[in-house]
């Protein structure tokens, strides 16, 4: 039995987290949950957006499932998501972007995996004011971080039969920082001669993803570019409601729904639980519980393909509870 920290999150987070718990129970998933607060809920209940008890639980279990958390814009507390990644050195953000049956999209056949460096770049949060009317943010790229995210991408490609890794950059302008990132990617690529390696400038990549997204296999990117193209990729397959994410380090991992808290529908039993379910499937795979993961994934895809019991954002009229029950029936 695996102990897993569960952070239900804010907004619709508790509703979709409850859906995952019900599905895991029905599937007999060998998981026990330690439930803790963070984000706005943590601030409201415990006076801290990232309570010590939550951090202690993740440190002990070394694996967590996290619902969406409120991130205040331009003010307030620092992003809890960023803090968690840096606290536990979760350097690898893994985002599968895949076409799903029954999910409406302009494209078909997309099967893309994005590897985003998760701890530095402009997201290191090193910024300051310069006088009254200017501010500076420092972009940090290191050889160590570049090597380990590249190693993660190529190791994944080798393990999963992927054929190509494409490094994303803007080294034509940021020659030192993005140049260092590319140097790390090239060094690791030499260790995997059977995997094709190439590079693409980030603005060109965005255009190419819109024109022909099936042309890419694995994308390897620094933090900021990876964040942007991850959401672009989600838009290609139906939106953030059908894309999971993982933050992985040497000693642990946090799996998450990457969509927002959707406060406009919170408490209305209308939230789509698919993304968090998919993240929970990735969690089971990480725990080497592949058979259980496959059963849950297959049940979800059957419900999506049928399209009869899905939430309004997926074109249906079902409630969160209805969709959860339909998935359980398919197990």
Averaged pLDDT for residues 301-313? 96
- Token reading at 94: 């893994």
- From the list 3, 104, 175, 203, the catalytic residue is 203
Residue 102, pLDDT above cutoff 60: yes
Q: For residue range 13-60, what is the model confidence (pLDDT) as tens digits?
A: 999 999 999 999 999 999 999 999 998 898 889 888 999 999 999 999
DSSP string, 116-185: EE-S-BGGG--EEE-SSS-EEE--B--HHHHHHHHHHHHHHHHHTT--EEEEEE-TTTSTTHHHHHHHHH
Q: Examine the residue annotation and report whether 62 is marked as an active-site residue of this protein.
A: no
Q: Examine the residue annotation and report whether 264 is marked as an active-site residue of this protein.
A: no
Q: Examine the residue annotation and report whether 170 is marked as an active-site residue of this protein.
A: yes
- From the list 170, 217, 231, 330, the catalytic residue is 170
Task: Write out 225-256 in H/E/C secondary structure.
Answer: HHHHHHHHHHHHCCCHHHCEEEEECCCCEEEE
Q: Examine the residue annotation and report whether 288 is marked as an active-site residue of this protein.
A: no
Interatomic CA distance for residues 213 and 172, integer angstroms: 23
Taking the alpha carbons at both ends of the chain, their separation in whole angstroms is: 20
- Token reading at 49: 């957006």
Residue 213, pLDDT above cutoff 60: yes
Q: What is the pLDDT of residue 72?
A: 66
- From the list 10, 37, 227, 313, the catalytic residue is 227
Interatomic CA distance for residues 53 and 48, integer angstroms: 10
- From the list 91, 123, 197, 216, the catalytic residue is 123
In Å, the largest CA–CA distance within the chain is 62
| All domains of the chain in start order, with CATH | 1-103+237-331 (3.40.718.10), 106-235 (3.40.718.10)
Interatomic CA distance for residues 163 and 175, integer angstroms: 28
Q: What is the pLDDT of residue 77?
A: 66
pLDDT band at 161 (very low <50, low <70, confident <90, very high): very high
Q: With residue 239 as reference, give the H or E element that holds it.
A: none
């Amino acid at each position: 039995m695996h102990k897993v920290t569960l952070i239900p999150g804010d907004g619709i987070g508790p509703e979709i987290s409850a859906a995952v718990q019900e599905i895991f129970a029905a599937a007999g998933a060998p998981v026990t949950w330690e439930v803790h607060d963070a984000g706005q809920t943590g601030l409201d209940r415990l006076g801290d957006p990232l309570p010590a008890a939550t951090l202690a639980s993740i440190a002990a279990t070394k694996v967590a499932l996290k619902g969406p958390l409120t991130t205040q814009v331009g003010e307030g507390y620092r992003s809890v998501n960023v803090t968690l990644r840096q606290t536990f050195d979760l350097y690898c953000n893994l985002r599968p972007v895949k076409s799903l049956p029954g999910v409406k999209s302009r494209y078909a056949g997309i099967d893309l995996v994005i590897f985003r460096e998760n701890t530095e770049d402009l997201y290191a949060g090193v910024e300051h004011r310069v006088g009254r009317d200017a501010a500076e943010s420092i972009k940090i790229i290191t050889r160590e971080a570049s090597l380990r995210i590249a190693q993660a991408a190529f190791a994944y490609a080798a393990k999963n039969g992927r054929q190509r890794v494409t490094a994303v950059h803007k080294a034509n302008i940021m020659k030192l920082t993005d140049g260092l990132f590319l140097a790390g990617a090239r060094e690791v690529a030499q260790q995997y001669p059977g995997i094709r390696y190439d590079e693409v400038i980030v603005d060109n990549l965005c255009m190419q993803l819109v024109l022909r997204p099936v042309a890419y296999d694995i994308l390897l990117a620094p933090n900021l570019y990876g964040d942007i193209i991850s959401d672009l990729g989600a838009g290609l397959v139906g939106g953030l409601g059908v894309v999971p994410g993982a933050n992985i380090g040497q000693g642990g991992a946090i799996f998450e729904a990457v969509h927002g808290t959707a406060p406009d529908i919170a408490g209305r039993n209308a939230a789509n639980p698919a993304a968090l379910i998919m993240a929970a499937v990735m969690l089971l795979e990480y725990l080497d519980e592949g058979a259980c993961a496959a059963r849950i994934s297959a049940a979800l895809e059957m419900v999506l393909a049928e399209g009869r019991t899905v939430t309004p954002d997926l074109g249906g009229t079902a409630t969160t509870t209805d969709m959860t029950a339909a998935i359980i029936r398919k197990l």
